[in-house]
Each structure stands twice: as structure tokens, then as C-alpha cells.
């Protein structure tokens, strides 16, 4: 029973069906097939704005290519200390940008806030040749701690970015989970709040390997074709990437999957959070639960074959992640196993 | 009717079945699943040697990552002027290596030969700080012109590489087509002939998006995990990549597919080559036909909706590529269409 | 009257004389002249060990080239948050290394300590493909705050580096000032304490533009020639660089100059520190004084044409730097000017 | 007696005097000193146009930084196969640009011509994502074979560049020698002929280590400060670099020095060229003589302690380079030594 990550889940049936359908006959390569060619319109409709979309296969590619489009070599990209781009990409942003720096910010639940950012930017030495130059900010939606930025929070950050003339990127590896939680449109939380480029994730939420880099200002996208090819992220049989994204949007599948995994996480948090000795470490706003549990409960869960992460080796803070395929029965099993231990 | 490239073909049934099978249930991510973990053994059996295998999704990734493992920043990688790494990767090798140079060699049918290479290396300034340093050679098997290196040809190149203490890479985007043509083992044409690293292609020959980087010397592979991750080519749901490669090897599917497309190309070359005014530009040893045809025949073919490339804009030298899915009927249709035009 | 930086000072007479002498007649280029060829022996004598020396012209070049030799692209170089490599080189270390990260550590007076470093390294994810990999530590001697590491402090850091199998670099832009302060040999504070590569600065201490990268393990230096050339830091008329370094060592000139500027800083700190309202912000162990003074004193000093830095725009914490050419009269003038203001 | 290269010569008296003068007292660092601040005006006067000037210390830095300013990572910079940027910079242009390619062109005497360039650019795949993109052309003035481009030759190349919307760089490591030969202004051979950026060399022609990167369009220079710093080519004691350039222009010193070395080369070519068995390999238009001599003459010259290069190891094609400091007596000595051998 898997709660280590949402990327241990398989491909959801609707997306697999789309892949099979895309497999009929021949198709022009490198994105000249009809499914690929339809993506701009489909995403533009979702975002209520003309956007330019580039499918890639990994979240790290989406993030790194986005940042390379927004920052010169000598740029600084500001992000939270816990951000995936800082912690879990083995320096990919530095590689793709040609050596830009990540400027790390603190904040609860892996969120950054506008005031902290503004203060940092004021002392950053913009225009002085000795210093790497402020270039962009990257926010993660939902964050690495399972929290979700509200539209006004992003808008405040967007305002600081405009004030300092730098760009705003959103790492939306779990964008679906965030939007399923928020009572707003995809536009509200992105370009209307100042986001320039979005890494729109699908892999963690039911796709096989598909992410979309979305430019809200087509002018900023003009070199992206070369960047993608040059980093070896252009697929020859693009139709299979595009079919995943197409199906992901179709009929709101992405929100349906996300709402389900969010609900599973919420139930998990409620069930585990009610146990004696339990302490939720972060608000559960998406599909991740960070919770401190008594060691006896943890060992019982491990013994029962439940799989999840101790956030620090040997520690009692756990991360449990739900997915589109997580079942209520699995969630109840986790809760009851932990409960047995602490009430024994 | 598609003869523009083998990457316009879909995924062959056996591989699609393997993808569907891999989709059952959850699986550990990033290559810790059982299918991924079985690949080293499976490829080692094929190559009759302990090899280390890294699945990636694009041929450009396989090539560029391989070269980055073999060349320092200040290295020169020698290859044919028509090689894919020089012509069609938008500078990916330069990017991945941190700015190594490609040293271009000439030779018929996009093949390089040992003597030319040796001569170039002698004048390359090895050990002199002013010059980029010889680091590796890359040969393409089959070549961009559809020719195939024989084992003794590769071995002679391998010998030159050892003499000059540089590495040998093989771009095997169409390795299956080459091997289906040759009367030798996979070992004979690779490590036994001095190849250090192979880009083993599957995408063009029936997979969806799967290539394997194969190190014949595991010691050279020690940093590869970091290179792959850092360039955003590590897949979270790795099982789908690995399942493609696993099925591709299973029961010799890779050779079966390749033998078929080779046969289709051979028939196409015979049929078209026999027409008055036709001239084969290169030996048809794999699944590509380079042929000069009368303009009238070309226009008739175009009008009939047959799709292929004029090698130069407006020229009469054509490239036609067959695939695992090309049917004899399609081939005959091409031949008869051209025949009608030249015999009208 | 200049106290903004030691790089506002000119070239000291001994070094200028050496430049003039080096200018007699022709000389082989790119380091094949006799002065350049003598440097290895001269520095080996100083460090009581066979070292390999590469002259370059800027401190940023010395640091960045050193770090590139010690860290792979996917490496992390740990340093203090205030280090020159982090704050004042516009991302040069990231550029030269191909995108390695700087891992920032805190500590008083811009010093890092062994325990903090060890703790950070334990949680750094060595060997895990998702994370940039610990590669090196860089300590600055003297630090950006004018403090000096003692041999046992460096040795403790060196021990942590060996334990975690990473390298140790010392940014010795003000190495002379540090050594003039310490009661130890150049060997004690470098290779005997675990330093692998030293940026040995001369520019700030009386040279025109000359720094030496010193490898204590010649084996680590084998690619350095290519790195230096490739980054455009190989000088054709190398004799002029080498002559500066040669004269700098000759007769202990480097220590004489450093001892002088240290003494000037010490006197400045005593004089200013005794004023009412003054507060020394860091121990004055080299040639920099960080001191908080009453605003009235600062304005009087500014009005008198004395030049120094307010450490933060508008703040009352000052940095005053002395040089080989600073005179006792200049120092007394600063003190008396400040005194007038606070006693008025 | 040195004819191996013009960089074996020392610093000419006027420039050394300027360095000594610049050494009086303190000066603001990093280019804020009066000599540095005067350079833009001085070069603008020379070029009869507002230019922006950046002093650096090596020719490779000037070239690589210029090209990085003109080409994206995925760009192609076209140059002659023998160009210094291709042959003698250990891949520095690739490093500084982040992996751009050099596209090599042929042509007699290391010159490229407009028609060849135009033809290459037509087939370069501009706008196609698979191919590295045409970005710039670099011409060397005078060339590596001692030939000089005439204004109409550069203008024709400039026209092709504008037609294909790419930039034109001139590597003027021996710009003085070229101009001393031509009957035109500095403007005529640069911006009036379409040159965007010039590497204006001084080191080979009497300076110690000083080159100027000159932007004829200030708008293209806006990021250059960061590029220079980030590659460690910003000097703290900039006054010494600037003083060299200032003195180099003063009173036409640069043309005087160049005219002298050109005259020495011309006399050498006449004298040696008249010998039986001699054959000039290229027109002697600057300060380099490429000449094929009988082996007996060469050995006599070698035995006499004259130093020059055999262009290929063991070959009889020689390169002899004159400098500002070459004397008529030295030249006559070379001629008479060779003469003795062939008339013996």
C-alpha cells in the first residue's frame, strides 16, 4: 500500500485510453500531428487567454526550461528553501540557465510571502556588476509541504515581481491539486495574479509522463523551441505526450483526479490527526499529509507493509501522499493500523 | 502513406501490450520498480557482458548524455559531417558537454573510416593547452545515409581510438536495423570492436519513446545518474520507459521489427532503382532509401499523397524511410506510382 | 584619502621594479619564459612541499578556476553566506563549474566552523541522484569581515572534508594579511590543515593584477591548463604576471606589505574604537575595520574627504580598509577627524 | 632572435611610461578611475561614432565575450577554418556562449568571402528547431595568414549578415597592422562596413596585456558588464589596463608600432622571397610572413639561433612574425643567414 509519493500511481484509465487511441496509424512527428496542434487552443480555453504550450515529459524539464527562459546566466531565481527546484533536481535549474543562482527564502509550509521577497530584492544589488542579478521568482503550487497559495497571495508576489521588473514562474507539479482546493479559476491563480510561465503538471495526477510549459505571454516563448530541442526534450513521437495532456484536460479529468486525491488526504489527516500523540505539521490543503506520530504507531504501520516516508531519517515526522488511485479502503487501513498501535 | 521518417510510425502491438501490463497497480518510482531493475541483466545477456543501462526517452538525450560522460568541456568529439549529433540536435552535444566541439570528418555514405580519423587525430594538438583536446569519436549505426558499418570497420576505428587514448561512442538510433543486416552478434559490433558507450535506440523501431544508454565499462557510468537527473531526463514513472525496452528485447522483437523495415526498404530500392532515370545514391543496408528520380515520377508520387523528403529543397534526390509498420502493399504502391510516371 | 578598499592602492615599488626588469628584451610566451618557469620552485620552497602554481590576473579567476577543478557540475561548494564567491563574483563560480551550487553557511565574522559544516554535510544526500552532491568547501582567509582562521580551525574543517570525501579550497585574496597575523608557517595554515587548493592573492597587497592558484596535490592540477586557457585566463605575455608574483615572494615582501597594512588597521581600530559611541563589529585581525560610529562622526569624516564604505546604505556600520601604502598620518587623520566630531 | 610571434616582444616605452604614470597615488577601482572613464570618448573619436569600450586583458577574452554577446547558446558563429577562435582558444567561444557552434568556412589566406558565406547561410536551417541557428560571423583582421580584408570585402560580408539578420564580429588582434596597411579610416573597416563588435587588440603590438571590446551599437552592450565580471575578466586595478589602451591610441602610437612591424615583415618577405627555392605562401599584408624555404636554409637559420615556427612539424613552410621591436638588423640577419645556405 503506497503513500510514498503520487508518482508511484499508474496511469489513469482515461489517459491510457487516449494513448491507445493516439496509436492508430501514422502521424507527423515532432508536434506536427493534430493532437499536438490542438493543445494551444485547448489550454487557451482553460486559461481564458491566448497561451503557448510546450509539452515535455518531466517536471524537472518543465521547471528548468521555464527558468532558463526567464533568467539570464547571471540571474538569481528566488524560491523557498524547500522548493523542488532547490532540493530535488540535482542542480538542473543551474544547468539549464547556464549557472544562474537560486536565492533561498524562508516561510512556513514552504510558502514565500511578498514582504519577505520585497525586502530581499531591495538589498540584492540590482544593476551592480559584482552581483548576480535578480531575474525571477518561482512559487510552488501546491507547495512541498502540501499548502496552497491563495490568489491574493500570488498576486501580492506578482506585484513585487513587477515592481522589481523580474518574472514570476509557478511550479505547478501539483497545480491540479491546488486548483481543486481553491475556489477560483485557472486564470485567477496564474496570469491574473502575475504569473508569466507555469509548469503545468500531469504526471503526478494520472498521466504517464507529461507536463506542459505554459507561456502567458507568447512573446516570451519565441526561443523555447530551441531550448527544448537543445536539452533533448523534444519528442519525435510527440502525439503520445500530447494525447496525455489532451485527455487530462478533457471533461475536467485533471480536477476530478485531483479532487479525489485531495479528499483522500483530508480524510487521512482527519483520521490520523485525531489519534493521541499526533500532530499535523502543515495544513492539508492538497494531497500531502505531514504528520508527527508516535513511534509505536509508525512501526506498526511499517510492519503492516504500509509505505510512506519518514521526513528525516529516523524521525517521527511522516509524509504520506495520496494519488488519483488511492482508495478510501486504503486510507481507512492506514488510520486503523495507526489507531491499533496507539490504543493498544 | 508515410515514408518521411520511421518516427511517424506508431507503437508496435507487443510494446503497447507491455505498457498496459506495466500499468497494473502501483510501482516504486525513479527506477526502483522490478521491470527497471531487470534491465541490466537483460541487456547484459544480449551483449554477453556485464553492462550498465540507463533508459531515457529521446535519442538526442541518449547521445548527448553519452558524449558528456566521455568528453570533458574542452574535448573534441569526432563524427561524420552528416551525423545526427552535428546536424539535427540543435547543439545538444555542445550543451550537455559544457561546450565541447564536434570535429567533422568526411566519407561516403556518412561513414567515417579509421585512416581519415587517425590522420586527423595526429594533427589535433593533443596535450597542447591552446587546443581543444581529442576526447571521443561517435559513429552512427546505421548511418544517416542508410549504410551499415561492418564489425571490422568499427574495430579499425576502435583501434585508432585506443591508440590515441580517446573513447568510442556509437549512435545506435537504428542499431536494430544495422544488426538485422549484419551477420554478427550485438557484442561483435560494439564492445568487441572497441565501443565504450552505445545509444541503443528503440523509438524509431516500434517503441513510443525509449532509448537505452549502455555502458560496456560500468566504471565509466558512475556519474551518469547525476547527469541524467540534472538534465531532467530521469522519469518518475520509470516503469513505462523500462517496459518498452523490456518488450523490445523480448523474443527478439527488436530484430524482427528491424528485419521487416529493412526488407521493405530493400524492396523499395529494387523497385524504384529499376526505373529508367533512377539512381541509388547510397547502398540500402538498413531502412532508408536515398534515390534520385526523374522529376515527373516525384511529382506523380507527391500528387498521389505519398509522403517522403526531397533531400534538398527542390532537388530530385529523395529520402524514403520504412518502418516496422510499413506494408508490402504500401511499398508496391510507391513503386507502381513512380513507374506509371516514367513509363507514361 | 582612501579607505574604501585595498584595491585602490597602486603597485608597490618592488613589484613595479620587477615589471620593468621583466621588460628587457624578448621572452617566450604563454609561460615558457624563465621567470614563469621558476615559480613552481619558489612557491614550493615557501610551502615546504612540491606545489604546482598557475598565475592568473584576478581573484575571481583564481577562485572560480579552483572550484571548477574541485567540483563536478552537479556539485555543491559550501561557503559562508558572506563569502566573496557568493556575494561579489556575479555568479562566476557557477559559470566556471558548469552550474554547481553554493551551499551557504552562517557563522560570526564570516567564518564557518567544523561542527556546522559536518551537520550540514550529514543531511546533504550524498549518493542520492536527486540532490546536488557535496563536492568542496571554500574558506576565506582572512574573511570578508577581517577575521583570521587559526590553524586548528582550518584543520578541523579539513578533517570534516576528508570524512565526507570532499575537497577544501582556501580563498586567500588576503592570505598575506592572515599569515602576517598568525604565528605559523604558510604550510601550517594550508596543506597541513587539509587545504587542497589555495587562491593566493597578491593584487590587494601591492601587485598590479596577479594571483596564484596553488595545487598542493599536483595530480589534481592535470586539467588546469585547459581550464585556464578555455576561460581566457592564459596570458600571452605571461612574464609580467609571473614577475609580480616572483617579486611578491622575494625577501618576504608579501609579509612586509601585509604586516604594514595590518598595523595600520589595528591602529585605526584602537583609535576609532576608543571614541564614545563606537563599537567594533568584528575582531580586527587583518587589514579591515568594521566599526559602528556615531552619525555625526561619519558625516564629519565624509565632509573631510575621507573615503570608506557604509556597510549598508545609510547605516552607521563602516568598513575601512588599509593597504600597503596607507600611511600612519592618514590613519591619524581619520581618527582625529572622527574624534573632533564626537567631542565637539 | 625572435620571429615566433609578436607576443614575445616586450612592452613599448610609451606604454610602460603610461603604466608608471598611472601608478601615482590611489585610484577608484573597477573602472571608476579617470583614465578608464576617458576611454569611451577616446575610442569614439577614433571611430567617429559613439562607441562603448570594455578593456580586458587577453585576446581570447575579447573574442569570447564578444561572441557571447552576439550569439545565443544555440547559435552558430561562422568563421574561417583557420581562425584563432576555432584553432587556438581551447574552446573558449563554446564555453563563453554556453555551447554555440563554430561553423567553419574555407577560403585562401584564411579569408572568408561573402558569396561562400551567403551560400552556407541559405542552407543553414534558420527557424527550424532541429538545427543550431545562424547567429554571427567572425572575421579576423589581419587574418591568421597575414592577409588583410579590404573595406569592400568586409562590407560585402556585412551585407550578407544583415540579409540573414545575424551579427558581424571582427577579431582585431592585429587590427593595427591591418589598418596601417589599408588606406582607410578605422570607421571604414568596421561599423561602416557592418561590423557590430570589434576585438581591438593591443597586446601583440606593444602593450603588456590589454585588449578592448568595442560595441558600435551601445544597446548591444547592456549586459556586457555582467558577462565580463562573471567570467572573471573585470580587473580591480583597472587603471593599469586602461592606461595601456590610452597610451596605445595617444598620438597614433598603435599605427606607428604597426607600420614598423609591417615594414619589417615586408622587407623580410622581399629578402627571403628572392632566394632560389623560396615561395611565399600568402600575401604579406601585415606583420606575418608565410614562406616555403629550402630545408638547408631552414636548418642554417635554426643553427644560427633564429627562432620561428615550422608551420607543420617537420615541414618547410615557415611562419615568421615581426613586432614593434623587431630591428632592421635582425631582419637582415635572417635574410643573410638563409642566403648563405642557398648560395653555398
| d(C-alpha D233, C-alpha D56), whole Å | 6
Give residue B192's pLDDT band: very low, low, confident or very high (50, 70, 90). very high
Measured between beta carbons, the chain D residues lying within 8 angstroms of A72 are 223, 226
Interface test with C, best of D26, D28, D33 (most C CBs within 10 A): D26
**CA-to-CA separations, A293 to A317, B71, B316, in angstroms, rounded:** 7, 49, 73
pLDDT one-digit tens code per residue, D19-34: 999 999 999 999 999 9
CB of D181 closer than 8 Å to CB of D150: no
Sheet-wide strand order for C75-80: C52-56, C211-215, C197-201, C167-172, C133-140, C75-80, C101-105
At residue A313, the pLDDT reads 87
Nearest CA in chain B to A9: B26
Interface test with B, best of D60, D67, D73, D91 (most B CBs within 10 A): D91
Q: Is the pLDDT of residue B344 over 80?
A: no
* Nearest residue, CB atoms, A99 vs list C99, C104, C312: C99
**CA-to-CA separations, C33 to A14, A198, C25, C230, in angstroms, rounded:** 73, 57, 12, 21
| d(C-alpha A78, C-alpha A309), whole Å | 27
| d(C-alpha C253, C-alpha A87), whole Å | 47
* C230/B72 CB distance under 8 A: no
Number of C-alpha atoms within 13 angstroms, CB side, residue C117? 31
- Which is it for the CA torsion B140, B142, B148, B152, positive or negative? positive
| d(C-alpha B68, C-alpha B46), whole Å | 25
At residue C45, the pLDDT reads 98
Residue D98 sits at φ, ψ, to 5 deg, of: 80, 25
pLDDT one-digit tens code per residue, C22-77: 999 999 999 999 999 999 999 999 999 999 999 999 999 999 999 999 999 999 99
Nearest to D319 by CA among D275, D252, D268: D268
Which H or E run includes B271? helix B253-273
Residue B316's contacts (CB-CB under 8 Å, 6 or more residues apart) are B292, B293, B294, B295, B298, B310
Residue with cell 524539464: A61
State the DSSP code for B2: B
CB of B211 closer than 8 Å to CB of B57: yes
- Which is it for the CA torsion A93, A94, A100, A104, positive or negative? positive
Kindly state the cell numbers that stand for B78. 569526432
Nearest to B18 by CA among B39, B45, B43, B48: B39
pLDDT one-digit tens code per residue, A51-82: 999 999 999 999 999 999 999 999 999 999 99
At residue A343, the pLDDT reads 84
At residue D15, the pLDDT reads 98
Region of B173 on the Ramachandran plot (φ > 0 left; ψ -120 to 50 alpha; else beta):
alpha
Residue A104's contacts (CB-CB under 8 Å, 6 or more residues apart) are A78, A79, A80, A81, A86, C104
Q: Is the pLDDT of residue C344 over 80?
A: no
* A229/D129 CB distance under 8 A: yes
Residue with cell 529508367: B276
* Nearest residue, CB atoms, D74 vs list A129, A226, A234: A226
- Which is it for the CA torsion C75, C77, C81, C86, positive or negative? negative
Measured between beta carbons, the chain D residues lying within 8 angstroms of B131 are 87-88, 90
Measured between beta carbons, the chain B residues lying within 8 angstroms of D91 are 73-74, 99-101, 132
| d(C-alpha B36, C-alpha B241), whole Å | 8
**Which residues of chain D have a pLDDT value below 50?**
none
Measured between beta carbons, the chain C residues lying within 8 angstroms of B133 are 226
| d(C-alpha C282, C-alpha C109), whole Å | 6
Mean pLDDT across chain B? 97
Kindly state the cell numbers that stand for D99. 555551447
The string over B312-344, giving b where at least 16 C-beta atoms fall within 10 Å of a residue's C-beta and e elsewhere, is eeeebebbbbbbbbbeeebbebbbebbbebbee
Interface test with B, best of D77, D99, D131, D132 (most B CBs within 10 A): D99
The better pLDDT of the pair B178, B1 is held by B178
Nearest to A65 by CA among A234, A231, A216: A231
CA distance B130 to chain C (A): 7
CA distance A98 to chain C (A): 6
Q: Is the pLDDT of residue C150 over 80?
A: yes
SS3 B198: strand
pLDDT one-digit tens code per residue, B313-327: 889 999 999 999 999
Measured between beta carbons, the chain B residues lying within 8 angstroms of C30 are 129-130
**CA-to-CA separations, B198 to B62, B190, B206, C5, D308, in angstroms, rounded:** 8, 8, 19, 55, 45
In chain A, DSSP assigns E strands to 52-56, 75-80, 101-105, 133-140, 167-172, 197-201, 211-215, 279-280, 288-292, 309-310, 317-321
* Nearest residue, CB atoms, D91 vs list B73, B90, B104: B73
At residue C336, the pLDDT reads 97
pLDDT one-digit tens code per residue, B20-64: 999 999 999 999 999 999 999 999 999 999 999 999 999 999 999
Q: Which chains touch C (3+ CB pairs under 8 A)?
A: A, B, D
* D226/A74 CB distance under 8 A: yes
| d(C-alpha A16, C-alpha C129), whole Å | 29
End-to-end CA, chain C: 23
Residue A43 sits at φ, ψ, to 5 deg, of: -75, -35
At residue A309, the pLDDT reads 95
ipTM for the assembly: 0.97
CB of C70 closer than 8 Å to CB of C196: yes
Q: Which residues pair with D101 in a beta bridge?
A: D76
Nearest CA in chain D to B127: D90
For chain B, give the number of residues.
Answer: 344
- CA A269 to chain CA centroid, Å, is 21
* A230/D98 CB distance under 8 A: no
Nearest CA in chain D to A231: D74
Interface test with C, best of B73, B124, B131 (most C CBs within 10 A): B73
What does the pLDDT average to over C247-264? 98
Number of C-alpha atoms within 13 angstroms, CB side, residue B41? 5
* D102/B101 CB distance under 8 A: yes
SS3 A328: helix
At residue B183, the pLDDT reads 87
Nearest to C297 by CA among C330, C270, C326, C275: C275
pLDDT one-digit tens code per residue, D265-320: 999 999 999 999 999 999 999 999 999 999 999 999 999 999 999 998 889 999 99
Kindly state the cell numbers that stand for A76. 538569481
Peptide bond into B65 cis (omega under 30): no
Nearest to C36 by CA among C22, C50, C21: C22
Kindly state the cell numbers that stand for A91. 542542480
End-to-end CA, chain D: 23
State the DSSP code for A163: H
Nearest CA in chain A to D232: A130
Residue D75 sits at φ, ψ, to 5 deg, of: -90, 165
Q: Is the pLDDT of residue A344 over 80?
A: no
What does the pLDDT average to over B302-308? 96
* Nearest residue, CB atoms, C232 vs list D233, D237, D325: D233
Q: Is the pLDDT of residue C313 over 90?
A: no
- Dihedral angle of Cα A140, A145, A147, A153, to the nearest 10 degrees: -50
SS3 D243: helix
CA distance B163 to chain A (A): 32
| d(C-alpha C228, C-alpha C205), whole Å | 23
Residue B342 sits at φ, ψ, to 5 deg, of: -85, -15
Mean pLDDT across chain D? 97
Kindly state the cell numbers that stand for C205. 597587497
* Nearest residue, CB atoms, B237 vs list A7, A19, A236: A7
* C74/B98 CB distance under 8 A: no
CB of B337 closer than 8 Å to CB of B304: yes
* A72/D225 CB distance under 8 A: no
Number of C-alpha atoms within 13 angstroms, CB side, residue D95? 32
At residue D241, the pLDDT reads 98
Kindly state the cell numbers that stand for D161. 549578415
Interface of C with B (CB under 8 A): 30, 72-74, 98-99, 129-130, 133, 223, 225-230, 234
* C232/D229 CB distance under 8 A: no
DSSP C178-239: HHHHSSS-TTTTTGGGT--EEEEE-GGGT-SS-EEEEESSGGGGTTHHHHHHHTT---TTTH
State the DSSP code for A30: T
* Nearest residue, CB atoms, B91 vs list D95, D104, D132: D132
Q: Which residues pair with B151 in a beta bridge?
A: none
* Nearest residue, CB atoms, A232 vs list B8, B92, B237: B92
Sheet-wide strand order for C279-280: C279-280, C288-292, C317-321, C309-310
Amino acid at each position: 500500500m503506497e503513500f510514498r509519493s503520487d508518482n508511484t500511481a499508474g496511469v489513469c484509465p482515461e489517459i491510457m485510453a487516449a494513448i491507445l487511441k493516439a496509436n492508430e496509424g501514422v502521424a507527423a512527428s515532432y508536434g506536427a500531428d493534430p493532437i499536438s496542434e490542438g493543445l494551444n487552443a485547448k489550454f487557451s480555453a482553460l486559461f481564458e487567454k491566448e497561451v503557448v504550450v510546450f509539452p515535455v515529459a518531466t517536471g524537472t524539464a518543465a521547471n528548468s526550461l521555464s527558468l532558463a527562459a526567464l533568467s539570464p546566466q547571471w540571474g538569481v531565481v528566488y524560491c523557498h528553501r524547500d522548493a523542488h527546484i532547490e532540493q530535488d533536481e540535482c542542480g538542473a535549474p543551474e544547468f539549464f540557465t547556464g549557472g544562474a543562482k537560486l536565492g533561498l527564502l524562508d516561510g512556513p509550509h514552504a510558502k514565500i510571502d511578498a514582504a519577505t521577497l520585497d525586502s530581499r530584492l531591495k538589498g540584492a544589488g540590482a544593476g551592480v556588476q559584482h552581483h548576480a542579478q535578480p531575474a525571477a521568482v518561482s512559487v510552488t503550487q501546491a507547495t512541498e509541504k502540501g499548502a496552497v497559495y491563495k490568489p491574493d497571495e500570488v498576486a501580492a508576489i506578482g506585484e513585487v515581481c513587477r515592481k522589481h521588473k523580474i518574472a514570476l514562474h509557478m511550479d505547478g507539479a501539483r497545480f491540479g491539486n491546488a486548483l481543486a482546493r481553491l475556489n477560483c479559476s485557472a486564470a485567477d491563480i496564474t496570469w491574473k495574479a502575475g504569473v508569466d510561465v507555469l509548469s503545468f503538471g500531469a504526471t503526478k495526477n494520472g498521466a504517464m509522463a507529461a507536463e506542459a510549459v505554459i507561456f502567458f505571454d507568447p512573446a516570451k516563448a519565441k526561443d523555447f523551441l530551441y531550448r527544448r530541442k537543445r536539452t533533448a526534450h523534444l519528442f519525435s513521437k510527440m502525439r503520445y505526450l500530447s494525447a496525455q495532456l489532451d485527455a487530462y484536460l478533457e471533461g475536467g479529468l485533471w480536477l476530478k483526479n485531483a479532487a479525489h486525491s485531495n479528499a483522500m488526504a483530508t480524510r487521512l489527516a482527519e483520521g490520523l490527526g485525531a489519534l493521541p500523540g499526533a500532530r499535523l505539521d502543515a495544513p492539508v490543503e492538497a494531497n500531502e499529509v505531514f504528520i508527527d506520530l508516535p513511534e509505536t504507531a509508525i512501526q506498526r504501520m511499517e510492519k503492516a507493509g504500509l509505505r510512506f516516508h519518514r521526513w528525516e531519517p529516523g524521525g517521527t515526522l511522516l509524509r504520506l501522499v495520496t494519488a488519483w488511485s488511492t482508495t478510501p479502503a486504503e486510507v481507512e487501513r492506514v488510520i486503523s493500523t495507526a489507531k491499533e498501535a496507539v490504543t493498544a
